[in-house]
Amino acid sequence: MFGIKVGALRKSSGMTLKDLSAESQVSVSMLSEIERGNRQPTIDVACRIAKALGTSLSQLVDEKPSLTRLVIRAEDQPVLVDPKSGIRRISLSPVSGQGNLEFLRFELPPKAASGSFPPHEPGTVEYASVLKGEVIVRLEDEQYHLHEGDCIYYKGDCAHGFENPANKIACLHVIINRSSSSY
């Protein structure tokens, strides 16, 4: 579904593959493979594509739920698995296009790193809490080594990423508060 949504949004916004490639720094051939469903992007690449299209990754991955939906069963939570790192990104909140909050769970295999996510729009903030294991949160040139139960708050308008330095799985909850629902 990700590739289909990328292609539809790209076309509806009047962008060519070359335009999207220039804006996202993802090759035309990779974008073509993704749109055809022949290739699964890494989370980093998917984030760059979403930003280039002026939307969020969740809006490209998630289905649009009814605004009256209050329960999202585990089997209905949209999951994006990074084919390179094995990191699982699970959307715990519905994306309705109305609101600026996003609630995510990241499951990081042993020694996995997310790479660098592109900055969000100015004014975006993130809150993260380590549920299990330990996680290094990288914010541009700084890093914070967090352990189970530790939390961090930071401005999301900088390059950032997560890394599991341990030999066991780590789990992190992240809340993103965007300044604008358009991104």
Assess whether the region 2-61 and the region 74-177 belong to the same CATH fold: no
Model pLDDT, residue 89: 92
Q: Using 50, 70 and 90 to split pLDDT, how confident is the model at 80?
A: confident
Please state, in angstroms and rounded to a whole number, the distance separating the CA atoms of residues 80 and 83: 9
Please state, in angstroms and rounded to a whole number, the distance separating the CA atoms of residues 82 and 89: 8
Position with higher pLDDT, 67 vs 13: 13
Position with higher pLDDT, 47 vs 107: 107
Model pLDDT, residue 153: 95
Q: Domain spans of the chain?
A: 2-61, 74-177
Mean pLDDT within 5-30: 89
Mean pLDDT within 150-173: 95
Residues 120-161 have pLDDT tens digits of 888 899 999 999 999 999 999 899 999 999 999 999 889 999
Q: Which of 93, 107, 35 is nearest to 63 (CA)?
A: 93
Position with higher pLDDT, 74 vs 26: 26
Query: What is the residue-averaged pLDDT of the chain?
Result: 86
Question: Taking 90 as the threshold, does the pLDDT of residue 164 lie above it?
Answer: yes
Query: What fold does the segment set 74-177 form as a domain?
Result: Jelly Rolls (2.60.120)
Question: Taking 50 as the threshold, does the pLDDT of residue 182 lie above it?
Answer: no
Query: What fold does the segment set 2-61 form as a domain?
Result: 434 Repressor (Amino-terminal Domain) (1.10.260)
Mean pLDDT within 76-87: 88
Query: C-alpha 26: how far from its chain's center?
Result: 16
Q: Using 50, 70 and 90 to split pLDDT, how confident is the model at 92?
A: confident
Question: Taking 60 as the threshold, does the pLDDT of residue 31 lie above it?
Answer: yes
CA 37 to each of CA 22, 25, 34, 134: distance values in angstroms, whole numbers, following the listed order: 21, 19, 5, 34
